[in-house]
Structure 1
Amino acid sequence: MISCVNRTSFVMVHVGRSTEAQRNLRHGIETRSWGFPRWKPEFHSARPRFAVLGTGVAPRVPFDEWATKRITLYFFEVVAAFHNAESRHWPNEEAENAIKYPVRFGIEPLAELHDIPLDATGPLSLAGSDALRLSGIEQGIGKLVELDPQPLFDAASISIRWADGGVVPLGSTPGILADQVAAPKAPRRRRRGAGFISDPKKRRAIELRAEDMAVEHYQREGWTVERLGKPYDLHCTRNGEVRCVEVKGTTGAATSVELTVNEVEHARKPHNTVDLYVLSDIKVDVRSEPYVASGGRVTHLKGWEPADEDLRPRSFEYRLPPT
């Protein structure tokens, strides 16, 4: 029997197999965001710790039939609570020029699991499995349920003992890349991790919006601000004090950001005082020329020093053997 002490709140989400649904799934993984077409009363006070997105099985069947199937799961930590959308975000929202998913929350990918049984032998338990099915019946709107996450950690080969403290070091998880999601008939582009935008004009508009907001913030506080770009974005001085500011912008949620090795090493040097300024949920109007970015939610970390447990390697340098 599972102890109630080990349980925590999950939001279970069924994702359809249509081209549009799978394209949105890839985009959600890429930008660390998910959303629903309408609010439910329980969402206003809910703070789920984890999210599970499941795809590959039709939900409109009795539970007894559903439980005989096997499914692909995407396991996430929820790092930004449910909130109202401020801009278009998903590909079909951009195409239709409308916000279709006004309920948003931020997700950090932990692991992808394939061929997972939906019966009592699987890591979801019967309650979690049925919540996933019911989500599919309700147009993919999330279902809240209390589960023990340990079976999911075990299934994903993540070396965490949830009962020992309830902490998930990012470096202990494999993560999920958007390219891991296969969608029929959908164009495939190379993804590079959290918040990467392939359109250079859109990416530049996002960067400028975040940087402009950061400059405005520090100037309001009496700092003299110089834009550098490298080795960090903003050099701020005030009464002999110096702050180095890394600025990141994204159209997605404030969950994680990409860092270079140099950015991490610079922030960790004892003589540097570094702030991290992140502007998320940025709105970009791609119909104008140049693109116009607006809005955004601020996450501001002062005296920032990235810890090992909050970092996950995304690439390696390989030394070739001598010839």
Structure 2
Amino acid sequence: MSRDEDGSKADAPALLHRPSQTASFVMVHVGQKPEIRRNLRHGIETRSWGFPLWKPEYRSARPRFAVLATGVGPRVQPDVWTTKKITLYLFEVRENFYEAEAPHWPDEEAENAIKYPVRFGIEPLAVLHDVSLDAGGPLGLTASDAIRVSGTQRGIGLLVDMDPQPLLNAAGIPTNWSEQQTVALNRTPGFTPEQVKSPKPPKRRPSGAGFVSDPKKRKAIELHAEDMAVAHYEGEGWTAERLGKPYDLHCTRGGEERRVEVKGTTGAATSVDLTINEVEHARNPQNTVDLFVVSDIKVDMRTGDYTTSGGRVLHLHDWAPADEDLRPRSFEYRLPLS
């Protein structure tokens, strides 16, 4: 409490709310075995990661970022660990921990079993090579050691609160975390599964149900998601017509009209692939567009006709994708005039 010039008491100015400079991270050590490398590539492609065991803190955790680290064996003393350099795959966590219902990774599909029931959704931000694990590196000692410990515990993720700014700076991502508390996707380099060193193929082709035609599986997932979307809209009194192109469903109810894009995945609801036509169609103010995403779809591939079931729905009404949530994966290059 302060006093005015006349001696009377004056209320102290309200304290300004300052955003936290720290964020919650999931730190994960990823091994070098061929099956783990295949899972890493698949996880990047499908925007999902998972662990074999639940930890109590996962239930209430709300991580903002995840780091999958690889290239250094974890079974060394801490003083030796900090002399090493490692490769980091930096992700934003877009879907929190959930209980999986569908086999997703190649080794799960081969055995038709859920080996990693703890799942969460990840969006690739950047790859960092030759990152120092000592106190001067962008991780700091606490997060660095969390990666080492994760590697001694079957790659279970450890939660760490840390300032993300040094890591974002090292990745070349332009943002002021303490002020913005967010990362624009279109200002991140991203990465693809092809940037992970491919494991050597097995000496003989496994005979499990997971090794099947990808296009056939993809089609089964798409149809399952579309069936769920049709059932949802018809349950609300809409008439749903399947089009496929230029958009998936044309829904009418009385004088109302909705155009629906449908996406399906066996992984998490983190991001979806869009064509330029889908983006422009959703952004056209003359169109009323919804996005209907079905994740964690179960596909039973033990028979010739794939059987799909389950799924978790994310339904976005009046959807128009913003620039900061879009990142181009390819470009059309116009050649110079000859």
What is the TM-score of this pair, normalised by structure 2?
Answer: 0.90
Cα distance, 1:198 vs. partner? 7.0
Please name the residue that 1:260 is paired with.
Answer: 275
- Indicate the RMSD between aligned Cα atoms, in angstroms: 1.4
Aligned equivalents of 2:231 and 2:155: distance in 1? Answer: 40
Aligned equivalents of 2:238 and 2:130: distance in 1? Answer: 55
Aligned equivalents of 1:5 and 1:47: distance in 2? Answer: 14
Aligned equivalents of 1:316 and 1:300: distance in 2? Answer: 29
Aligned equivalents of 1:183 and 1:16: distance in 2? Answer: 13
Structure 1: which 5+ runs fail to align? 188-196
Question: Relative to 1, partners in 2 of residues 1:204 and 1:186: Cα closer, same or farther, differing over 3 Å?
Answer: same
Please name the residue that 1:144 is paired with.
Answer: 159
- Of structures 1 and 2, the larger Rg is shown by 2
Please name the residue that 1:124 is paired with.
Answer: 139
Cα deviations by residue, 1:250-308 (Å, 9 ceiling, x for unpaired): 11100000000010001111111000000011111112222121111100000001000
Please name the residue that 2:251 is paired with.
Answer: 236
Counterpart secondary structure, 2:293: strand
Please name the residue that 1:191 is paired with.
Answer: none
Matched, 1:90 2:105: yes
Aligned AA for 1:308? D
Cα deviations by residue, 1:69-112 (Å, 9 ceiling, x for unpaired): 00000000111111111011111111222211111111111111
Please name the residue that 1:167 is paired with.
Answer: 182
8 Å Cα contact 1:23/1:186 also seen in 2:
no
Aligned AA for 2:322? A
Aligned equivalents of 1:277 and 1:97: distance in 2? Answer: 27
Q: Percent identity?
A: 70
Aligned AA for 2:126? A
Counterpart secondary structure, 2:302: coil
Aligned equivalents of 2:274 and 2:100: distance in 1? Answer: 26
Post-superposition, which runs of at least 4 consecutive aligned residues in structure 1 deviate over 3 A?
none
Pick the aligned partner of 1:311 from 326, 333, 336.
326
Listed as ranges, the matches of 1:276-315 within 5 Å are 276-315=291-330
Please name the residue that 1:209 is paired with.
Answer: 224
Aligned equivalents of 1:43 and 1:169: distance in 2? Answer: 26
What is the TM-score of this pair, normalised by structure 1?
Answer: 0.94
Question: Relative to 1, partners in 2 of residues 1:198 and 1:254: Cα closer, same or farther, differing over 3 Å?
Answer: farther
Aligned equivalents of 2:92 and 2:253: distance in 1? Answer: 38
8 Å Cα contact 1:12/1:135 also seen in 2:
yes
8 Å Cα contact 1:118/1:124 also seen in 2:
yes
Aligned AA for 1:214? A
Matched, 1:113 2:107: no
8 Å Cα contact 1:33/1:105 also seen in 2:
yes
Aligned AA for 2:257? V
Aligned equivalents of 1:30 and 1:224: distance in 2? Answer: 34
Structure 2: which 5+ runs fail to align? 1-17, 203-211
Aligned equivalents of 1:293 and 1:82: distance in 2? Answer: 23
Count of matched residue pairs:
312
